[in-house]
Structure 1
Amino acid sequence: MDRVLTAERLGEALASLAETLTSEYDVLQMLSTVVGECVELVDAGAGGLLLKDAHGRPELVASSEEGVNFVQVMQLNAGAGPCVEAARTGTTVSVADVEHVDGSWAEFRETALGYGYRSVHAVPLRARDEVIGSMGLYRTAPGELSRADAAAARALANLASIGIIQERAIRESGVLAEQLQHALDSRVCIEQAKGVIAASADVDMDRAFRMLRDHARKHNIKLLTVAQGVVDRSLEIGLSRDRKPAQ
């Protein structure tokens, strides 16, 4: 049974997101917060956010699950599926039952069902008049989101877009593309850091990401800074002692 979305729960989610929008906020961390809060709000099994790269191709930049299984589902979705369709058309795409999907989404359907996802709700992200990506919410039961849940997902997706295009970051032509590319490059670094932690601490990728995120929060360091420290071996996480990298 779906959770009941209340004004209090929505307010708590918006407050959590607002905390990330400081003058020194990290875009990637903000997007991760959006996805995580949205998954909690609509009682989804998992969620992911795609942004278009410089060539217009959707790439995964944030997700509520960092395990290989969900990342594979999102990567297939970026090739053909509800999320890439939402990013292409700028309209919300709701799939009430993945089992009934066919055609060009056949590979996505088989993979999603294989990992237990039965329905998908994809919301576009816009920067002014440009569609810059989409957020997908995956549920383990078939069915449409309620009107309240769909509205909450749309509101959080809009806030994610606002965070990306804040006036302080959009001062000249080309800055938006650079910022989006930075987010994509940051994701690559975080994936590398996850792999290092997973190997050194003998944990799965989902746990490795949580260790990265928790270290960043504990020491008030940007997530990307922590990831770079892990990759260049100036920071060790999950071993006997964690060394704080220089900011």
Structure 2
Amino acid sequence: MKRLENKVIIVTGAAQGMGKTHVEKLLAEGARVAITDINKELGEQVSKALGENTIFIQHDVVNESDWQNVVNIVMNKWGHIDVLINNAGITYNTPLEELSLENYMKIVNVNQVSVFLGMKTVASIMKAQKNGSIINVSSMNGLVGGAIGYTDTKFAVRGMTKAASRELSPHNIRVNSVHPGVIQTSMLEQEGVKEQVEQFKTTIPMRRVAQTEEVSNMIIFLSSEESSYSTGSEFVIDGGLTAL
């Protein structure tokens, strides 16, 4: 039997990047996956390519009614929600004095408020089921400093995870955060970035960046019953960077 056989999982920001890899790996373990993303065209393409055990739902993660719509569609189709993966996130690489309040609040809304809304919306369903796993994708910058705005919100995700875990654990709902370091994505292949990454690798104790699949493997573990006694915890995938 596959590790996630018949589990129903919602993954936000799943039309590309790490989110898409998560979906592919979850499906391979037997899950049924709701792919949500703001990008309708890309999301529909991904869902069609990945087959009948997926559905795509266009989703603005900062909109509370959109969250309720996602939950309603998933419940109507599959009848339960076993796992929520709050994966959607953004950042602006802008210095403190140059970052506008408007863009700062965009980061806060997407990275932080969406996690609150997601947990709030699935909580009653998981309570009724007496089972569930919520996985909040933070960052190594939820443990150590990084870009303004991004770091703030990823620390907040870490804190919300701990608060929610204390409230929901008596209902057999686990809430954990995942903290990726530098991940090999198309962004790292851009002109001018690749050389910087090669230099940065020398500061990573493992001397390499992570592959997206290595983050997905942690997502699978936390989605499965193998992590049945883990809650309120940080799972770090950074090659040893935050151990320095």
TM-score by structure 1 length?
0.28
Q: Identify, as 1 or 2, the structure richer in helix.
A: 1
TM-score by structure 2 length?
0.28
